[in-house]
Structure 1
Amino acid sequence: MSDDTVRLSDGTALHVVRDGPPAADVTVVFVHGYALDHRCWQYLVADLPAAVEHPVQVVAYDQRGHGASSTATSHTATVEQLGDDLAELIEQLAVGSVVVVGHSMGGLTALALRERHPELFEPTDDVPPKVAGLVLLATGSGERAAEARAATGLAVESSTSRIPAVINKLMWDLESLLGPALVDFVTDRSHKAMVTSMRWSLFGDDPRQDDVLLTLRMIRHHWPKTMALFRTALDDYVRRARLSLPEGTPVIGVAGERDRLVPEQQVAALLDGIADATTFVLPGTGHLVPLEAPALILPRVTAVVHAVQRRLREAR
């Protein structure tokens, strides 16, 4: 994987990691969830190139306001903006067709892409559509918009709360004095209640300790500012999330059996009525399915990629 930067039309810089031939017929774009970054895909992006029959380009990126990408503002911290960002990224990086793999908020980004850029999903003159397949992990629709509230157990209810601001200042002061690696060590080992709460909220029966600690580190990087910025927009969007797709577009929904934030009923509800949609429930897994169950997700992503590759061959 190599690091890259995609500069958007408003000047925002998106941090991107990519692998495989840039001119591949299919590019797979991985879109992470709320308060995470591209590292949540580390297992899948490493294994996908060897799992598919024909070469693909693999792209994972940090969404606006997350990871090493540019910060968001109160005006740009919206799911609609994230959908526009994804459209620009696809335009710049993908020569051929695209399969979007979205986790949670990343799945909502894919829905916003469909809502705001429908032309990308429509075939024209026997030419396959630009966005030709979707895999939606822990992505649903409904009134239970609890992801932001439960993400760490920290209950970031308001950007005006003094307690998060005090704790956040302390964390950054520690980092300036001790360095990020040592602060990670201190928080990983000292905040047992935080780790326990986050593990219960986000994971299933038997997560790997390294994955729990990686998730804690990703969330710590985004708390409280980014989490507060995206909280309202995320809650609002998931309540009204809808998806319709052109006939023949392969789409797979994946739910974790132990997911306390997006239950399997919400995943099924989102895909209800889409003829070519399939929903899978992964036993014993929670919300962080890209880290918990990559071996179970990889065949689903591969199946969609192969379906798109077959469609491209038939079109020729």
Structure 2
Amino acid sequence: MNGRAGWLAGLAGVAAVGSAAGVTAARSLRRRVTEDDPHRDEDFELLDADRSSVVTTADGVPLAVRETGPPDAPLTVVFAHGFCLRMGSFHFQRARLTEQWGDQVRMVFYDQRGHGLSGNAPPDSYTVEQLGQDLESVLAVTASRGPVVLVGHSMGGMTVLSHARQYPQRYPTRVVGAAIISSAAEGVSRSPLGEILNNPALEAVRFAARYAPGAVHRGRGAARAVIGPILRAASYGDEEMSPSVVAFSEKMMHDTTITTLVEFLHALEVHDETAGLETLSKVPTLVACGDRDLLTPLEYSQEMARAMPKAELLIVGGAGHLVQLERPEVIDDALVRLVERATPSKLVALTRRVRERVWSYE
């Protein structure tokens, strides 16, 4: 079989597996969506109105950046989003924490390379190690002075770990706290996503993405047939979900290019950033996940928390992988606690009032 025929056969295999694997997941997702939509009028483009800029990485990739809060705020919190998402996945954190922190905190959000409004890049640069270097570029431009807290969700959590491994001198002198949400320190082979990644047909798509763009374009829908239903069904727990929130997250996933999807899937499978845990142990850390997260099961978070004595481990009952969208109030409160632990005493009074609030996490 020649190379072209092999690519096309692989793409056909993706389609066959995807159609079978996605049925149960898609049905499960439909059961979780409720007609009662508390977020029907939510403005999910809120971040688009914030101050915008572009940070160019060391290898020349433009990263779209948004920020809110005074440029001279005492603290900067930088958010790194997850796989097949964009900075808008922190929508609820931006809305609530802006009100919570006022002019005491500046928040910086950016789209990872190949995602959202940021530029595409050579496929071989789609690695977790490179994402850690991209985060350093963002920090150098947007937070060159003053204390910083890093927040990473999913692949963004891996980004934070990668940064900690590669730039340990930044901790705790500049980076004074970190949150790792729904993430893993090393490859996700033990999760249901890992089982899907073992499908050789996906490797055929990845090969074609690098060497036969025309072929991968024809297999675009096939690759999504494998991954799409898994990502969507694993996004949320069993609780009924707002249709508007579900549509918002699905759009982010759908808008991600096929090259970004297959290249970063491989990166998630092979990455190992466990060395970053030692660096993060120098600063107050939050490790959070939903107990129904199928992509990065809670065991990953428990293992990371055990390696970091200063970590708060937060397991959110009933929540899936997109816990910051599904149970934003729980994650918001945990981030407030993290900032209180990580920052100078003048911020403590500002955040202490959160203790008066009682949330049901189960």
TM-score bracket for this pair, using the shorter chain length:
0.7 to 0.9
Match of 1:84 among 133, 154, 157: 133
* CA separation of 1:269 and 1:52: change in aligned 2, threshold 3 A: same
Distance 2:275 2:169 in 1: 19
Give the equivalent residue in structure 2 for 1:226.
260
Q: Offset of 1:285 from its aligned partner?
A: 0.5
How many residues in Structure 1 have an aligned counterpart in Structure 2?
A: 286
**2:320 matches 1:308:** no
Give the equivalent residue in structure 2 for 1:184.
none
Higher share of residues assigned helix: 2
- CA deviations on 1:32-56 (whole Å, 9 max, x unpaired) are 0011101101110111122237611
Distance 1:105 1:261 in 2: 11
1:268-307 to structure 2, matched below 5 A, reads 268-307=302-341
1:68-217 to structure 2, matched below 5 A, reads 68-94=117-143, 95-122=145-172, 129-141=173-185, 144-145=188-189, 146=191, 147=193, 156-157=202-203, 158-160=205-207, 165-166=217-218, 168=220, 198-205=231-238, 206-217=240-251
- Give the conservation status (yes or no) of the 8 Å contact 1:141–1:266: yes
- CA deviations on 1:277-305 (whole Å, 9 max, x unpaired) are 11011011100112111111001111111
RMSD of aligned Cα (Å): 3.0
- Give the conservation status (yes or no) of the 8 Å contact 2:178–2:286: yes
SS at match of 1:46: helix
Structure 2's unaligned 5+ residue stretches are 1-49, 209-213, 349-362
**2:100 matches 1:51:** yes
- CA deviations on 1:169-206 (whole Å, 9 max, x unpaired) are 89xxxxxxxxxxxxxxxxxxxx9x99865432221122
Q: Offset of 1:263 from its aligned partner?
A: 1.1
With normalisation by structure 1, the TM-score equals 0.81
**2:60 matches 1:11:** yes
With normalisation by structure 2, the TM-score equals 0.71
Distance 1:311 1:85 in 2: 31
Distance 2:233 2:217 in 1: 25
**2:69 matches 1:20:** yes
Give the partner amino acid of 1:294. P
SS at match of 1:243: helix
Q: Offset of 1:72 from its aligned partner?
A: 2.1
- CA deviations on 1:79-138 (whole Å, 9 max, x unpaired) are 11110110111111113111111001000000010011111114xxxxxx1111011100
- 136-145 or 263-272, larger mean C-alpha shift: 136-145
Identity %: 29
Q: Offset of 1:240 from its aligned partner?
A: 5.3
Q: Offset of 1:11 from its aligned partner?
A: 2.0
Distance 1:238 1:32 in 2: 18
Distance 1:308 1:54 in 2: 17
Q: Offset of 1:273 from its aligned partner?
A: 3.0
